[in-house]
Amino acid sequence: MANGLLLVGCGKMGGAMLDGWLARGTDPRTVVIVEPAEAAQTALKAKGVTVVSAADDVPDGFAPDCVILAVKPQMMADVAPAYARFRSPETQFLSIAAGTTIGFFEGALGGDAAIVRTMPNTPAAVGKGMMVACPNPNVTKAMKVRAGELLAAVGEVAWVEDESQMDAVTAVSGSGPAYVFHMIECLAAAGEAAGLPAALSAKLALQTVYGAGCLARDADEGPAQLRVNVTSPGGTTEAALKVLMAEGGLKPLMEKAVLAARDRGRELGG
């Protein structure tokens, strides 16, 4: 019976997932990590997990129910094939490498491998990520439940069955944090232009975006109604929204940005 987790790569995303699993009660003795960076190995071993430097060093007899591939996409062609030996009817492969297709993994690991392709985003590093997953036909219902549990350790989880949607997912949630960071930059710069000290304007912009996100996340009402709620007729917010919601304003600009990201994702995916 397959048992345990094999985490391949333990950088920021892999490390965040590991911390989430351990915080949720995963027995560290059931976790093996492949991490070649010696500087990271000591700290990982202190968590009680087994750490090795390469696939060939994984202890004999270790049969993971999930192999999590968390190396950079450009390294995956060199790394993934070494883990084909763990393929079994009870083992699934969970990839968090952006843009790397299920077809690639089927070629590297075998066509009968159970593969879940995921698109994480950087807020997963603080447990607030958005993880979207797509399974191949070899993934069983039980495997999907298991994968969902593992991903939920670092944020919210959603599933798509059509892999072609993953480029749009990447454009919205994968790249999305950068859009929000840029909005914070722009809002802070606008505050400066309006006469505020730089440090104060930066703090106002950051906390406002953070607070508004928390409110939108927890409120019973949707974002459109929340916008209406804070917009007094003839007031300051309405004056600003007339600019942002004008023809050529934020909505068409955001659509253009997301489509550009989606199309670039398709190009990179071949």
- Candidates 16, 206, 266; CA nearest to 121 is 16
Does 233 appear as a known binding residue? no
Cα separation, 269 vs 99, whole angstroms: 6
Does 73 appear as a known binding residue? yes
> Which distant-in-sequence residues (6+ apart) come within 8 Å of 265 by Cβ?
99, 166, 167, 170, 171
Identity of residue 29: R
Does 72 appear as a known binding residue? yes
The phi, psi pair for 95, rounded to 5°, reads: -100, 135
User: What is the DSSP secondary-structure string of 110-135?
Assistant: -TT-EEEEEE--GGGGGT-EEEEEEE
Alpha helices in the chain (DSSP H): 12-23, 38-45, 76-79, 102-109, 141-151, 166-169, 176-193, 198-218, 223-229, 236-244, 250-268
Q: Are strands 66-69 and 50-52 parallel, antiparallel or unpaired?
A: unpaired
> Which distant-in-sequence residues (6+ apart) come within 8 Å of 92 by Cβ?
65, 66, 67, 114, 115, 116, 139, 143, 146, 147
Compute CA 65 distance to the chain's CA centroid, rounded to the nearest angstrom.
21
Q: 3: which 2 tokens?
A: 């048992």
Q: DSSP label at 59? A: P
Does 70 appear as a known binding residue? yes
Annotated binding residues for NADP(+):
70-73
Annotated binding residues:
70-73
